[in-house]
Amino acid sequence: MKSLFLTNEYPPHIYGGAGVHVQYLSRELSKLMPVEVRCFGDQNSAGKNLSVLGFGLVSGAYTCPKPLHPVLGAVQRCLDFNTTDIRADVVHCHTWYSHLGGIMAKLNYGIPLVVTVHSLEPLRPWKREQLGGGYDFSCWIEKTALEMADAVIAVSEETKRDVLRLFHVDPARVPVIYNGIDPEEYQPVQSQCALRRLGVNPHQPYILFVGRITRQKGIIHLVNAIKYLDPGFQIVLCAGAPDTPEIAAEMKQAVAAAQRARPDVIWIEEMLDNRSKVELYSHAGVFVCPSIYEPFGIINLEAMACGTAVVASAVGGIREVVRHGETGYLVAVEQMQESPFEPVQPARFARDLAVRVNELMADPAKRIAFGKAGRQRALEVFSWSSIARQTRDLYETL
């Protein structure tokens, strides 16, 4: 049995949790069966059981509006995925960018279609800022793929509930298989080279954010919380890859204001390699995840595996990863009103984040206890080897 992965992201071109998922799942799954990955990029490698082929894009002749470039570029690559002969027993898609390719493979090659839900387009309306009318297309292609898939893998129970609420999908076709972590790669380290290179004082405590600059990740709420944070520790914002120039400008203005009031706010705009991220996680006093929508929240798991206490918003799959009062604290996002994607009272959310961060930064013993419990939970529940076995078993049922 052979699996074909279709994906936007694959190393070295990774910018989000879906890419991390594909990277590690393909690696672990290839220990059990042949896996071929077709992705966006220039990758080309062939191992014993894992082969990777990237598909480039020539878009210089595009005259359509710029927000449509990534949308129609995805369509072209999905066509290329299929004009290159497919010799696999199952096609497994990751993110809507690859869904058209999976639909075509199912229909043209007669193989089962599996879709892993890393996020859902109807729950990310801010994507219209990035894609324009392409957002309507991404919603349509996602709905079409999920409703015709032979299996829809939800990365959390909360994600499964969202799938069943938003789409016409048989619950029996929606298994829950969590995201995972490599505990050998993500573990506490003593080295401080990356901290010094990035301008973080290793002798002063700090809190940490790691993520993209997007509405979904809620980083603006953390920046707004800075004015409520106690003095005496650094705030390290490892945040890059903004969705739009407008969001980038908003972030730049907010961080500049925070830095004028508090010079120990450090903004790292580069996308870091895993070794540098592990070092940042390992030495952080608290990792903060202020997401307003998160089907799973793999960054929390990365921090926990590195022995770091977490303060995170109580949304989506985060509630299944972080155990309140045991591995960290969950902060409620207020009941939603006009828009279901922004806290009704963002100032209150920011203050509530600050309260929990201040509590932990003032209590080193509790931080250490939460960190040890988080590491143990990552080891026991979220190993990629277990997730790969569950995925292979699902394939066999199809």
- Report pLDDT for 109: 98
Taking the mean position of all CA atoms in its chain, how far away is CA 247?
A: 18
- Report pLDDT for 337: 38
Q: Count other C-beta atoms under 10 Å from residue 339's C-beta.
A: 11
First to last CA, the chain: 11
Residues whose CB is less than 8 angstroms from the CB of residue 243 and which lie 6 or more positions away in sequence, other chains included: 126, 127, 129, 130, 212, 213, 214, 215
Per the structure block, which two tokens stand in for 311? 């303060």
The tens place of each residue's pLDDT in the chain, 398 residues long, gives: 999 999 999 999 988 889 999 999 999 999 999 999 999 999 999 999 999 999 999 898 999 999 999 999 999 999 999 999 999 999 999 999 999 999 999 999 999 999 999 999 998 888 898 899 999 999 999 999 999 999 999 999 999 999 999 999 999 999 999 999 998 999 999 999 999 999 999 999 999 999 888 888 989 999 999 999 999 999 999 998 788 888 889 889 999 999 999 999 999 998 888 999 999 999 999 999 999 888 898 999 999 999 999 999 999 899 999 999 999 999 998 644 344 455 556 788 999 999 999 999 999 999 999 999 999 999 988 989 889 999 999 999 99
| Strands 151-154 and 328-331, bridge-based pairing | unpaired
CATH number at 193-381: 3.40.50.2000
pTM of the model: 0.81
Residue spans of the domains in the chain: they are: 3-180+383-397, 193-381
Report d(CA 142, CA 126) in Å as an integer: 16
Assigned superfamily of 3-180+383-397:
Glycogen Phosphorylase B; (3.40.50.2000)
3-state secondary structure the chain: CCEEEEECCECCECCCHHHHHHHHHHHHHCCCCCEEEEEECCCEEECCCEEEEEECCCCCCCCCCHHHHHHHHHHHHHHHHHHCCCCCCEEEEECHHHHHHHHHHHHHHCCCEEEEECCCHHHCCCHHHHHCCHHHHHHHHHHHHHHHCCEEEECCHHHHHHHHHHCCCCHHHCCECCCCECCCCCCCCCCCHHHHHCCCCCCCCEEEEEEECCCCCCHHHHHHHHHHCCCCCEEEEEEECCCCHHHHHHHHHHHHHHHHHCCCEEEECCCCCHHHHHHHHHHCCEEEECCCCCCCCHHHHHHHHCCCEEEEECCCCHHHHCCECCCEEEECCCCCCCCCCCCCCHHHHHHHHHHHHHHHHCCHHHHHHHHHHHHHHHHHHCEHHHHHHHHHHHHHHC
Fold match, 3-180+383-397 / 193-381: yes
- Contact indicator for 40, 127 with CB cutoff of 8 Å: no
- Exposed/middle/buried for residue 204 (C-beta within 10 Å: 0-12, 13-18, 19+): exposed
- Report pLDDT for 129: 86
pLDDT digits (tens, 9 = 90+) for 333-357: 864 434 445 555 678 899 999 999 9
- Report pLDDT for 336: 40
